[in-house]
């Protein structure tokens, strides 16, 4: 019983081959959009339905097992949930990269100044990645 099986069960989700494959693909690829995920899944399950992809993505998001990342001028991608981090998005190749960057002090100050109770911080930086210049 591998890692993802355990985590899925902890969320009262059955560890089906399809779900384990999604987890595995996200682990390997880091970030992927629905369309590409479907394409990759089709290689492993020749008759998988897009509906299954959507149902699983949705339920896994609801259970905080994975997370949606909304990207300016592009389709959302999904990633395994982990510690808070930011994203670099390349406008050339579309590649999404995780980065950690500590902005807490300034953000907390600002939240306090606005009497705002912070629960999450989403930073997406767009530009050109090192492979595209």
Partner DNA sequence: CTGACTGCAAACGTTTTGCACGGTA
Partner DNA sequence: TACCGTGCAAAACGTTTGCAGTCAG
Which residues are at the interface with DNA (CB under 7 A)? 5, 8-9, 13-19, 34-35, 45, 47-52, 54-56, 58-59, 76
- Decide the pairing of beta strands 77-80 and 66-69: antiparallel
Closer to DNA by Cβ: residue 10 or 121: 10
What are the tokens at 48?
Answer: 């998988």
Task: Tell me which of DNA, a copy of itself, none is bound by residue 114, counting a contact when its beta carbon lies within the kind-specific cut-off of 5 to 8 angstroms.
Answer: a copy of itself
Q: Is the dihedral of CA 115, 116, 121, 122 positive or negative?
A: negative
Closer to DNA by Cβ: residue 27 or 45: 45
3-state secondary structure of 42: helix
Task: Tell me which of DNA, a copy of itself, none is bound by residue 29, counting a contact when its beta carbon lies within the kind-specific cut-off of 5 to 8 angstroms.
Answer: none
Closer to DNA by Cβ: residue 37 or 89: 37
Least distance from C-beta 81 to DNA, angstroms?
A: 18
Q: Is the dihedral of CA 82, 85, 88, 89 positive or negative?
A: positive
Residue 87: strand pairing partners: 98, 124
């Amino acid at each position: 019983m591998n890692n993802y099986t355990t985590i899925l069960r902890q969320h009262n989700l059955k560890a089906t081959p399809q779900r384990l494959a999604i987890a595995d693909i996200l682990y390997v690829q880091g970030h992927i959009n629905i369309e590409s995920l479907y394409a990759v899944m089709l290689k492993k399950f020749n008759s998988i339905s897009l509906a299954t992809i959507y149902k699983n993505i949705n339920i896994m998001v609801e259970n905080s097992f994975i997370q949606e990342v909304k990207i300016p001028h592009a389709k959302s991608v999904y990633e395994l949930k982990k510690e808070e981090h930011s994203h670099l998005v390349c406008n050339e190749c579309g590649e999404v990269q995780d980065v950690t960057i500590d902005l807490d002090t300034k953000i907390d100050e600002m939240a306090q100044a606005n009497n705002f109770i912070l629960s999450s911080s989403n930073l997406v930086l767009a530009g050109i990645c090192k492979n595209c210049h």
